[in-house]
Structure 1
């Protein structure tokens, strides 16, 4: 009959050569012990899978970035200094975007396959009742399971996000498909991967604690995490402060439209009209008279249009927006933890 506890290994008596060797080994090698060792032992298959996938992802990104840099080094000096990329670079940008899209699924996978079964599996199999009937308290068992898994998730997502950002950096701002405002890059770089994954993981743990069934918890967690993703995609860019660039040289054929700063991303449906009072009119204003140049010009003049106006988000706001978004997600994570900890006193039975 197997148990969840283990006694210390027999040691040689003092003075024996093996006694000093064992003492040196135990003092120099850090090892998990107690409840942390039990948690690692119980979930070692999942933990090693996470570590292996992280290493494979890092190796793949390092290899693909090496190919990218070889091609960038092969460009002539004039092309290398320009903002654009030659047409044959599309396959490299597509690889980057595709890998970033894969990283976007990491929070979903973490919530469904790590968060939901973490406690629900113990409740369903009776492991939680067995463990908590020993000398380990319910709260200690839950907090250790959560802390060990959360630490591994945070480390893995931080490594993946850092390497992905390193891969993206040579191409940043040089193609329209690599805009920093897209979820592919905004959610997969900086502090965002860690905060997002911890949120979905904690949601999964809370769902498993309430429903107590592994499969049901995984399905419900998938729905909740999917809803979180939809809401986040809708409001992510609202974290930034939109800026405006405008011209007052007219809107005729010889007038120039405003230019955006480097790596800035235009917001809205298009370039608006600017009136003498400073008001903005939609670009569709007087569009019904666009077939007649004179009528179209007269219509715009009647509305006192003096130039163009364009809203944008500067690249300098990316990191502040990421930190603000991460703070919101970690606050929600803390709220779920405040729900989980009191519940653990009664649910782990």
Structure 2
């Protein structure tokens, strides 16, 4: 088994790294003001990143989940805000549209995403339900050739800017998981309101979104009731990208720490010459490489979406690893690490998001544990098959 990048994948990483170092890193400090990073998105679109989840006929490259992970990992080394904006365009949002929406809606929205001009927003969390999707109250009723949406979503990224919102909703009031579907709601639809209400510790803004008799054409209901399994399978790609962000932020924190260990002097020598700090760097590296192995394996399993078990394990580990590694980086930097001017402070705050979005680590641990106890065939064991 050869565990190394192909020449094409290495070229991808090198290309994204150049954009990150030239365009994204110099603007990283100003990005925590909460403004959408349009300039960074345009720069990434110019090298094809924004089209990675989009079919070639709509201006994309239809890249693999693993290639998308590699690009997002590199971006996240310098800027959580930009990485979060990118995942909102090349994650499950674009893949849901390209997989399930009718051709004319794909043609309307996907080329704008690939060019860096469009913005997507996925609406899942509700005031009284987050991970518990089957308890959503937002409802879409079918009236002739229209769908009428009523309800509320909260903690939604980019909703005030979006060309179209991908809304997880109950259909015709059918209760439980069987009633959940997905509808596309164009930005500016009468009855739709999106307000940037919450400022996050990562620096971005999240919205409250309400739907009051919003009417869209029937063909905007791209997945009807009893589509829960389909939606969750699609969401495993998003979990890999969330993990890629966490891996990238941890790598960025380690790189910043190595630089500081080499440059900072104390008691007449580099602080990197003290064994205690060298061990911190060693532990950071070990955790990063363990996370990389889990994540790349999960991403490589995609056909077309990643295996849910290894993806749940990868996301759980990457999320928690990033918190530990970025926290250690802040400690290595001492008082400077507590200031916004040093990247490790921003990376630490960004890493805290990972275990909250895309399925909490508690939920994913429960899934992994249930699978092991209820489904593992002990005749073949738990190794690679």
Report if TM-score (shorter chain) is over 0.5: no
- Greater Rg, structure 1 or structure 2? 1
- Larger helix share, 1 or 2: 1
Structure of greater relative contact order (alpha carbons < 8 Å, 6+ residues apart): 1
TM bin (shorter chain): under 0.3
Q: TM-score, normalised by structure 1?
A: 0.24
